[in-house]
Structure 1
Amino acid sequence: MNIVHIGVADAILSVMESEMRKLVSVLPFGRLDRGTGEISGVMAAVCGGLTCLTVTAMVWPDYLTTPGLRHLWALIDVRSAITAGLIATYAFALWNIANRVRNRGAVIGVGMGALAFALGGPDAKPVSAGSPLLTIGLDWLILGVLTTGPLFIAVEKARPLRRRQPIFRAKWTTDAIYFVVNHLLVGVFAIVTLWIASHAFGWAKIDRVAAWVQAMPLAVQFIVMWLVIDFVFYWGHRAFHEHRLFWRFHSVHHSAEKMDWLASSRLHFLESLFTRSATVLPVYLLGFSDAAIGIYLVYIGIHATLLHVNADITFGPFEHIIVSPKNHHWHHAKEAEGVNKNYASQFAIYDRIFGTYYNPDHWPKAYGVMANDVPQSFKGQLLHPFTKRDHTGWAAAKPPRRS
């Protein structure tokens, strides 16, 4: 990567990060205090933003919705949902005004609501664009905000691990940017990973094997898929820790110093592309049914986020079989005894078999990269693997050689 390429990439990332931070700056840092208008302001901004995004996706569905989700939207009364969103937006904003509270969130919410009306509101008409090769997963982002956020925030509030850690904790904006970008790029990742699997390994796919796999009961397909994918993930994940080049990318994920549901989104997009390509390959070659794949995707989405939550959740005796939040928190720990442990994402027995299992009774005290050499900004983290840093964090984290 030459100086010109780095300069162009740096300029693009600077603009993107600046705009994203402006977007999330309407939300307060730290705790939400009652009587200050912060809660109603946040709700106005969120409702207004989601409503505006929904209308936008409805106007340009061919570009801004995921093909695999369009059948789901057909089952939902989207226009009624838009109406409800607009009502909620202005209700929260009016609450601010009635209580004479000045809050930027309420102002942004009103602005987003006005933009939604300008685009057609509940009566917006879709504009046909044919079948573009790549799509932006705006609908996937909307679905993620509506489901993932409320679900896991509720879990964290019900069983908090670190009670003094607020929802809007330090560096949450960096993780929010990852959350948005990763959701928007879901369609791009799907196209690229399937293209790699079909073009590079299409010769290895055997139709008789696929027919045999699809003849299995759905529950059996799910279990087989679960075991196979996590076996591949285990060794890929281990490689990202134990090889200097790969660690440059994976250290971005481990740079999170606060664990919660949003921290699970902090992942360099090239690592994400590699991991998805590696785990899609056995699914493609073995030919699992669409139903089994759909069930697995829902499960993995929930479980992967659960592993990072700021919640005191253990699986009791099942922790020796299924990876739990405590088990994965130790994977992110700064304590030396937790370094390069617990590589599995689902099936803890793999760590037990290959000697990387560590799960004491207590939780770790601190998280992050031991060398503290990873920038905390979105732009800095995307460029981090390509800089001329020594990446000493790899040396600090690398396990001793076996004699």
Structure 2
Amino acid sequence: MISQFKSQLFLLSLLAFVGGIFLWTLGNPLQETYLGLASLFLIGLSLVIERLAPLHRDWNIDTGDTVGDIGSFVVVFGIIDSALKWLSPFVILALLPNTNTTLGWPLWAQITAATLLIELGAWASHWAHHKYKPLWALHAMHHSSERLYTLNGFRFHPLNHILNHLIMFLPLLALGFSKEALLGYTALALPVTLFQHSNVGFQFGMFSYLFNTNTVHRWHHSAAYNEGMHNFGRAFVVWDHIFGTYYHPSDENEPAIIGLSLGGPSYPPPNQTLPQICWPFAKDCCQ
């Protein structure tokens, strides 16, 4: 286990690193590209650290799911996510053709409000994907892994990701939040979300009452239903505290089993990516 002081210093350093890139590139048309490159660096860093100091050595062993995780990263976050960002303003224009709203708030206020609203949308979407069977049929793909390591954080059903994006970001675009405000939220979230599935024994202490760290997020991936129905926030757990879904006994404790909720329906194993994508459309998937 990495000491609490080193874990907290590490997270603060990542926040300063990405935040510095955001501030340095303000007004630069390539700001999003720079943040994308920072993301790739953080993913690589997480992969290295979990090799050098794994929480569970067996979680570093490929069980046939790595190819699917990489494929999901390329398709969902490389292609679909890029298309959604490009198409979203056109969707707003189609739905609200007469709107020309632009918030006149200072950037710091927009980022603060955007963080709270995006996290609220993320919490609501995530909770609904666990509560309702047709949505769970999409979200089960993300929970099918029986180990937690950096790359399975990108295993998402394409429709699950599309719904999340629409719920989190379309309302803010309609309200007139600036692109810089949304990227400001992204800069705050990246150091947390990209290490959320890391197979590293961090101890974040009080930081885990604010951020959805990997020690908090592991409980959400518990195969025990009563444990997994917690910690629905994206990068922050503010709304989990408000709605009573926060759960984190301690940094040292963790779920007994990672994976789909015990007693759930039969589901293709994580090394069968295409069957997992097709499964929600099977006649008896949601029975």
Query: Please, what TM-score do these two structures have when normalized by structure 1?
Result: 0.57
Superposition RMSD in Å? 2.7
1:353 and 2:242 correspond:
yes
1:174 and 2:63 correspond:
no
Instruction: In structure 2, give the amino acid aligned to 1:374.
Output: Y
Q: How does 1:161-200 map to 2 (within 5 A)?
A: 161-166=55-60, 168-182=62-76, 183-200=78-95
Aligned-pair identity (%): 25
Task: Answer whether contact 2:144 2:260 (CA < 8 A) is retained.
Answer: yes
Q: 2:284 corresponds to which residue?
A: 389
Task: Answer whether contact 1:314 1:324 (CA < 8 A) is retained.
Answer: no
Higher relative contact order (CA 8 A, sep 6+): 2
Q: Give the aligned length.
A: 252
1:378 and 2:269 correspond:
no
Seen in structure 2, the aligned counterparts of structure 1 residues 144 and 291 have a Cα distance that, compared at 3 Å, is closer
Seen in structure 2, the aligned counterparts of structure 1 residues 174 and 302 have a Cα distance that, compared at 3 Å, is same
Q: How does 1:271-286 map to 2 (within 5 A)?
A: 271-286=160-175
CA displacement at 1:73 relative to structure 2? 11
Task: Answer whether contact 1:197 1:280 (CA < 8 A) is retained.
Answer: no
Task: Answer whether contact 1:194 1:277 (CA < 8 A) is retained.
Answer: no
CA displacement at 1:295 relative to structure 2? 2.9
CA displacement at 1:390 relative to structure 2? 4.2
Q: How does 1:270-349 map to 2 (within 5 A)?
A: 270-349=159-238
Q: 2:122 corresponds to which residue?
A: 233
Instruction: In structure 1, give the amino acid aligned to 2:147.
Output: K
Aligned mate of 1:365, from 256, 260, 282: 256
Higher Rg: 1
Q: 2:145 corresponds to which residue?
A: 256
Task: Answer whether contact 1:314 1:325 (CA < 8 A) is retained.
Answer: no
Query: Please, what TM-score do these two structures have when normalized by structure 2?
Result: 0.78
Instruction: Indicate the SS of the match to 1:345.
Output: coil
Instruction: In structure 2, give the amino acid aligned to 1:363.
Output: E
Task: Answer whether contact 2:39 2:194 (CA < 8 A) is retained.
Answer: no
Q: 2:50 corresponds to which residue?
A: 156
1:219 and 2:108 correspond:
yes
- How far apart, CA to CA, are the structure 1 residues paired with 2:176 and 2:227? 37
- How far apart, CA to CA, are the structure 2 residues paired with 1:191 and 1:149? 24
Instruction: Indicate the SS of the match to 1:238.
Output: helix
Q: 2:18 corresponds to which residue?
A: none
- How far apart, CA to CA, are the structure 2 residues paired with 1:297 and 1:240? 22
Instruction: Indicate the SS of the match to 1:153.
Output: helix
Task: Answer whether contact 1:234 1:350 (CA < 8 A) is retained.
Answer: yes
Cα deviations by residue, 1:290-312 (Å, 9 ceiling, x for unpaired): 33322323443442221111112
Unmatched runs of 5 consecutive residues or more in structure 2: 1-27
Instruction: In structure 1, give the amino acid aligned to 2:71.
Output: I
Seen in structure 2, the aligned counterparts of structure 1 residues 73 and 312 have a Cα distance that, compared at 3 Å, is closer
Seen in structure 2, the aligned counterparts of structure 1 residues 196 and 166 have a Cα distance that, compared at 3 Å, is same
Q: 2:5 corresponds to which residue?
A: none
CA displacement at 1:148 relative to structure 2? 4.2
Seen in structure 2, the aligned counterparts of structure 1 residues 227 and 367 have a Cα distance that, compared at 3 Å, is same
Unmatched runs of 5 consecutive residues or more in structure 1: 1-68, 76-139, 393-403
Q: 2:19 corresponds to which residue?
A: none
